[in-house]
Amino acid sequence: MNSNSKWLPKIWISFRNKQWLLKKLGEGLLLFWIISLVSFAIVQVAPGDATLSLLRIDTIAITVEQVEALRQEMGMNDPLYQKYVRYMANLFQGDLGESVMTGRTVAAELIQAFPATFLLAATSLLLTVLLVAVFGSLSALYTGSWIDKFSTAFCLMGASIPTFWLGLLLIDLFSVRLGLLPAVGMANGGLVLPSLALAIAIAPPFIKIFRNSLIDCARQDYIRAARSRGISERLIFSRHILKGSLIPVVTILGVSLGSLLGGSVVVEVIFGLPGVGKLAIEAVTRRDYAIIQGFVLSIGLLIFFINLMVDLSYRYLNPAISLKEAERR
């Protein structure tokens, strides 16, 4: 039986704990309601009129009668509470509405745009993990050396430069001057520059935390005890130091998701990626409120589920949480 099998039942006990499960379910329902309310409120207070944008597609001269007829057809003249009840009823039926510009369902628009955003997020996270592993480990291993100072300078630069400017600098260097990578689109290595821009922007806090955590874990008494028993440095690092050092990194992961998603919107616009972020920006400029509502709702729920996975990962890395909950039962 491997070492991981010891914590699996305890994690499962914690997961089945009614109090924990009900709490998570309640948080999810509350979050769903808050997000739906926020997305609905954003549309109601937003300036402009979607009917004008829609009518200008087909006609040059727009009459007041045309605007009023379309508003009546779309239910925009209904009382506010009727609009919200209708909106929530459609949500529970899985109907996010239709785009007023394309006539397609919001779900279809989001599904079409999601792969580009997923690929961007996945490659950015892979590059982030690589940057954190390399800079964090080397800085911890050679504390005070030029490598540590270079890592600190890199973190300062990444945290100081806005993602917008970083993306433009990468385009100027690798696309305009060197001609190595495309500046727009996803073909022919088009994901490299946007993923790199996003990774450089979100990696600095993880690098510093991982470095400090590695140094702190390596100085613990149980690490000295493991060395005194003759356990190899490789096993000490993989089973004790590395696992313990990941706990604070995972802890701030959920908090950093907002930065990742917000940065992806900016990056998609700069590099012309057909993702969800670019779709949302276009919806704002076209006053396509159904797309905006669908974007806000889907991103909010996505963050909730990712945070749930982060919570479970934290329980894996720190089984003491599950042990305490099991003992209380």
Q: Two tokens at 171?
A: 């385009």
Which percentage of the chain shows pLDDT scores above 70? 74
Q: Two tokens at 279?
A: 């779709």
Q: Over the stretch 205-263, which tens digit does the pLDDT of each residue have?
A: 888 888 888 888 877 777 778 777 877 777 777 777 776 777 677 667 666 766 677 77
Q: Which of 94-103, 119-128, 194-203, 294-303 has the lowest mean pLDDT?
A: 94-103
pLDDT, greater one: 313 or 290: 290
Confidence of residue 13 (pLDDT cuts 50, 70, 90): very low
pLDDT at 281 exceeding the cut of 60? yes
pLDDT at 34 exceeding the cut of 70? yes
- 96-100 long-range Cβ contacts below 8 angstroms, 24+ apart: 96/290, 96/293, 96/294, 96/297, 97/290, 97/293, 97/294, 98/290, 99/283, 99/288, 99/290, 99/291, 100/50, 100/53, 100/54, 100/74, 100/288, 100/289, 100/290
From CA 44, how far away is CA 47, in angstroms rounded?
8
pLDDT, greater one: 60 or 128: 128
Nearest CA to 139 out of 202, 211, 204, 242 is that of 211
Q: Over the stretch 85-116, which tens digit does the pLDDT of each residue have?
A: 888 888 888 778 778 777 788 888 888 988 88
Examine residue 146 and state whether it is found in any structural domain, yes or no: yes
Examine residue 200 and state whether it is found in any structural domain, yes or no: yes
Examine residue 56 and state whether it is found in any structural domain, yes or no: no
Examine residue 34 and state whether it is found in any structural domain, yes or no: no
pLDDT the model gives residue 150: 92
From CA 158, how far away is CA 156, in angstroms rounded?
6
Examine residue 281 and state whether it is found in any structural domain, yes or no: yes
Identify the CATH number of the domain in which residue 128 sits.
1.10.3720.10
How confident is the model over 150-157, as a mean pLDDT?
A: 90
Examine residue 209 and state whether it is found in any structural domain, yes or no: yes
pLDDT the model gives residue 14: 47
pLDDT, greater one: 62 or 34: 34
pLDDT at 288 exceeding the cut of 50? yes
pLDDT at 15 exceeding the cut of 70? no
Q: How many domains does the chain have?
A: 1
pTM beyond 0.75: no
Residue 141 neighbours by CB under 8 Å, 6+ apart: none
Examine residue 25 and state whether it is found in any structural domain, yes or no: no
How confident is the model over 3-23, as a mean pLDDT?
A: 55
Q: Which of 39-53, 263-277, 294-308 has the lowest mean pLDDT?
A: 39-53
pLDDT the model gives residue 30: 87
pLDDT the model gives residue 327: 43
pLDDT the model gives residue 159: 83
Q: Which of 123-132, 297-306, 320-329 has the highest mean pLDDT?
A: 123-132
Confidence of residue 142 (pLDDT cuts 50, 70, 90): confident
pLDDT the model gives residue 117: 87
**Can you give the residue range of the structural domain that contains 139?**
112-328
pLDDT at 172 exceeding the cut of 50? yes
Examine residue 218 and state whether it is found in any structural domain, yes or no: yes
Mean of per-residue pLDDT scores for the chain: 77
